[in-house]
A and B are shown apart, each in its own frame.
Chain A
Amino acid sequence: MVEIKKLSKDFGSLMAVNDISFQVKQGEVLGFLGPNGAGKSTTMKMITGFLTPSAGSVTVNGHDIVQNPLAVKQRIGYLPEGAPAYPDMTPASFLEFVAQVRGLRGSNKQSRIEDTVKKVHLEGVLYQSIDTLSKGFKRRVGLAQAILHDPEVLILDEPTDGLDPNQKHEVRTLIKNMAEEKVIILSTHILEEVHAVCTRAIIIADGKILADGTPAELEAKSQFHNAVTMTLHCSTAKAKQIRQSLLNLPGVQKLETLAKNNSMQSYQIFPHAHRSIIGEISQHARNQQWKVEELHVNKGRLDEVFRSITTV
C-alpha cells in the first residue's frame, strides 16, 4: 500500500505540490490526471525518493521514504518522465545493469530479463545502442527497466507517451495483467487510457487534488451526465409545443436545441440533479406518438469533466 499524507513540495515561491493526501491499495490502478505543470511528475518524484518533500510523508508498505529510502526503492519500479536511459548502452547491457543493481543473480536474473524483454517486445533491438532507438522503443526500454524486478509498486510517468496504437494497447494489457498483485500509479494525458486501465483517477491542478474517484464517478460530475439527446421528426410549427411538453415533465430541468430544420428537431435535455430521465422521456414520446429518430443517454465524458474542473 502507498500512503501519501499532506505531501507538499515548493520550488522557491512556487508550490508545485500543495498538501496532497491519498492512499492506493494493492490491486488498484490509479490514474493521475492534470494539466501540464499540475504537479504530477513532482509527486511521483517524491514517492520514488528522488525529491525530498518540503512537508508531509510517503510510506510504501509501511516504510517511510525519508527514513528508509532503500527499503522503499527496492519495492518500487519507476519509469521517470521521458524514460531516461544511458544512451551509450544497449537495451541488453542496460537491463543487465539494472538487474545487477536490483540484486538479481544467476538464472533468476536471466529469466527475469528474458521475460521482461518478451513482455515489452524488445527482442529486435536488444543489441542496438539506446541512442539510436526510436522514441517508442526508448519508452519500452524504460518500461522494461521498471518492471524488471517484479516490484510491489509501479510508478509510471506517462508510460504510453510516444507508443504506436498497437503498443499502447499492449502496454495497457500488460498493466492490467499485473494490476492484481501490485499497486500501480500512472500519469497520463490520454483520457481514454483512464477507462482502459485505471480503477481510480485523481485529477490535480496547481498542486491540489480536485477530484478523486472511479472513472464512472468522475464522469457523473459532468453536466451531461444522464442528459438525454433526442431527435425527432416534426414540423417547425409544432416544435414549440413539443419543447414545452418536455419541459413540463417532472424530472426535466432544462432543454437545449442542438439542431433544427423544417422536418427535424434535435434536443439536449438536462435532468434535475443528474437523475435518470430517459424512461420518463421515452414514455412521453410514445404517448404523444412522436416520430423519434434518435434517443440516448449521455454518461458524461471525462475530457469534459477534466476541462470543467481544471479551467476556471
Chain B
Amino acid sequence: MRGNLIWVLFRRELASYFATPIAYVFIVIFLFLSGIFTFYLGNFFARGQADLSPFFTFHPWLYLFLIPALSMRLWAEERKGGTIELLLTLPITITEAVLGKFLAAWAFTAIALILTFPMWISVNYLGNPDNAVIIAGYIGSLLMAGAFLAIGSCISALTKNQVIAFVITVVVCLAFILSGFPLVLDFFSGWAPQVIVETISSFSFLTHFSAISKGVLDLRDFIYFLSLIAFWLFATAILIEMKKAD
C-alpha cells in the first residue's frame, strides 16, 4: 500500500464530488434534514437542555438514506462508464483504489458533518453544554458514517446499476440499525438464548453509537466500527478482483 497513490486517488475522487451537483445537493439536504429532525422531531427547545443529543439521535436514520445515495456511485459508476478498466490497468493495487475511494467519500461526509457547526454554536449560545460530549457525538457519528459507507462501497462493487446499489445498501444498513432495536431484540429474547440476543444487539450501530454519543468513549465501540469498516472494505476489494470485468 502506497500512501502517495492513495492520496492521488483520494483527491481525484473528492474533487469529483464537487465537480457535479452531488456535493451541493447532499450537503444542503443533510443540513436541512438534520435541522428538521433536531428542532421539530427532537424538541430541541422544549427539552430545555443544552446538549445536542436530539441532533445525534437521528443520525442513524439520516444516514440510512443519505449515505447509500453517496456510496452507490463509488464502484457502480466506474463499472458503468468503463473507467474501472482504466483505473485498474494503471499501476495501482485494488486495495489502494478501494481505500482512496472510500476515504474520499468518508472525508466528504466529514465535511457535511462539520458544516453542522452552527448547531453547536447555538447550544453554546443558549446554555452551557458539555462540549466534550458533543465532540464525542461527532466522532461517533463520523465512525458510524464510515461503517455505512464501507457497506455501501461493497454493495456498489457488486453492480453496474446505482439504483440497485442504493436499495440493497439501505436494506443492509437497516438491518445493522434494527439489530439493536428493542422491538427486534424482544422478538428474539422470547425464545433465543441470551448469548444470541446479545450477539445480535452487539452488531447494532445503535448500541455502539449511542454509547459514544453519550460521551462514553469505550475502546470496544471504536474497535467495533473500525473493524466493521475494515471487513467491508476487504470484501469490496475481493469482490472487485473477482467481478471487475462483468
Residues of chain A whose beta carbon lies under 8 Å from any beta carbon of chain B: 45, 48-51, 70, 73-74, 76, 78, 80-82, 84-89, 93, 97-98, 100-103, 129, 145
10 A-B pairs besides A49-B89, A70-B92, A86-B83 with CB distance below 8 A are A50-B88, A51-B244, A70-B93, A73-B89, A78-B86, A80-B89, A86-B81, A89-B19, A102-B90, A145-B86
Given A86-B16, A89-B19, A102-B91, A80–B82 Cβ distance below 8 Å?
yes
Given A73-B91, A101-B90, A84–B83 Cβ distance below 8 Å?
yes
**Contact string, B73-95, partner A, CB cutoff 8 A, digits 1/0?**
00000000111011011111100
Closest to B12 in A: A97
Residues of chain B whose beta carbon lies under 8 Å from any beta carbon of chain A: 5, 8-9, 12, 15-16, 19-20, 81-83, 85-86, 88-93, 244-245
Closest to B83 in A: A84
Specify which chain A residues have a CB less than 8 angstroms from the CB of B20 in the assembled complex: 88
Q: How close is B18's CB to chain A, nearest CB, in angstroms?
A: 9
Specify which chain A residues have a CB less than 8 angstroms from the CB of B8 in the assembled complex: 97, 100-101
Query: What are 18 of the A-B contact pairs (CB < 8 Å)?
Result: A45-B85, A49-B89, A50-B85, A50-B245, A51-B244, A73-B90, A80-B82, A80-B89, A82-B82, A84-B81, A84-B82, A86-B83, A88-B16, A88-B20, A89-B16, A98-B90, A101-B92, A102-B91
Measured CA separation A49–B82 after assembly (Å)? 15
Measured CA separation A74–B82 after assembly (Å)? 20
Q: Which of B15, B86, B88, B92 contacts A85 (CB 8 A)?
A: B86
User: Taking chain B's interface residues, is the majority helix, strand, or loop, or is none over half, making it mixed?
Assistant: helix
User: Taking chain A's interface residues, is the majority helix, strand, or loop, or is none over half, making it mixed?
Assistant: loop
Measured CA separation A129–B93 after assembly (Å)? 27
Specify which chain A residues have a CB less than 8 angstroms from the CB of B19 in the assembled complex: 88-89, 129
Measured CA separation A42–B221 after assembly (Å)? 46
Q: How close is B19's CB to chain A, nearest CB, in angstroms?
A: 4
Q: Is the CB–CB distance between B88 and A87 below 8 Å?
A: no
Specify which chain B residues have a CB less than 8 angstroms from the CB of A145 in the assembled complex: 86
Specify which chain A residues have a CB less than 8 angstroms from the CB of B12 in the assembled complex: 86, 89, 97
Specify which chain A residues have a CB less than 8 angstroms from the CB of B244 in the assembled complex: 50-51
Q: Is the CB–CB distance between B245 and A45 below 8 Å?
A: yes
Most B CB within 10 A of own CB, among A86, A89, A129: A86
Q: Is the CB–CB distance between A70 and B91 below 8 Å?
A: yes
Measured CA separation A129–B15 after assembly (Å)? 13
Specify which chain B residues have a CB less than 8 angstroms from the CB of A102 in the assembled complex: 90-91
Specify which chain A residues have a CB less than 8 angstroms from the CB of B88 in the assembled complex: 49-50
Specify which chain B residues have a CB less than 8 angstroms from the CB of A80 in the assembled complex: 82, 85-86, 89
Closest to A155 in B: B89
Given A50-B244, A97-B12, A101-B5, A84–B91 Cβ distance below 8 Å?
no
Specify which chain B residues have a CB less than 8 angstroms from the CB of A103 in the assembled complex: 91
Q: How close is A198's CB to chain B, nearest CB, in angstroms?
A: 23
Closest to B96 in A: A101
Q: How close is A141's CB to chain B, nearest CB, in angstroms?
A: 11
Specify which chain B residues have a CB less than 8 angstroms from the CB of A97 in the assembled complex: 8, 12
Q: How close is A57's CB to chain B, nearest CB, in angstroms?
A: 18
Q: How close is A71's CB to chain B, nearest CB, in angstroms?
A: 8
Given A100-B8, A101-B5, A101-B8, A85–B89 Cβ distance below 8 Å?
no
Specify which chain A residues have a CB less than 8 angstroms from the CB of B83 in the assembled complex: 84-86
Specify which chain A residues have a CB less than 8 angstroms from the CB of B93 in the assembled complex: 70
Q: Is the CB–CB distance between B91 and A101 below 8 Å?
A: yes
Specify which chain A residues have a CB less than 8 angstroms from the CB of B5 in the assembled complex: 101
Q: Is the CB–CB distance between A51 and B245 below 8 Å?
A: yes
Q: How close is B135's CB to chain A, nearest CB, in angstroms?
A: 35
Measured CA separation A196–B82 after assembly (Å)? 29
Q: How close is B103's CB to chain A, nearest CB, in angstroms?
A: 16
Measured CA separation A89–B92 after assembly (Å)? 20
Q: Is the CB–CB distance between A50 and B90 below 8 Å?
A: no
Q: How close is A218's CB to chain B, nearest CB, in angstroms?
A: 30
Most A CB within 10 A of own CB, among B19, B82, B89: B89
Measured CA separation A35–B187 after assembly (Å)? 61
Q: Is the CB–CB distance between A84 and B16 below 8 Å?
A: no
Q: Is the CB–CB distance between B89 and A76 below 8 Å?
A: yes
Q: How close is B113's CB to chain A, nearest CB, in angstroms?
A: 24
Q: Is the CB–CB distance between A74 and B91 below 8 Å?
A: yes
Measured CA separation A48–B8 after assembly (Å)? 21
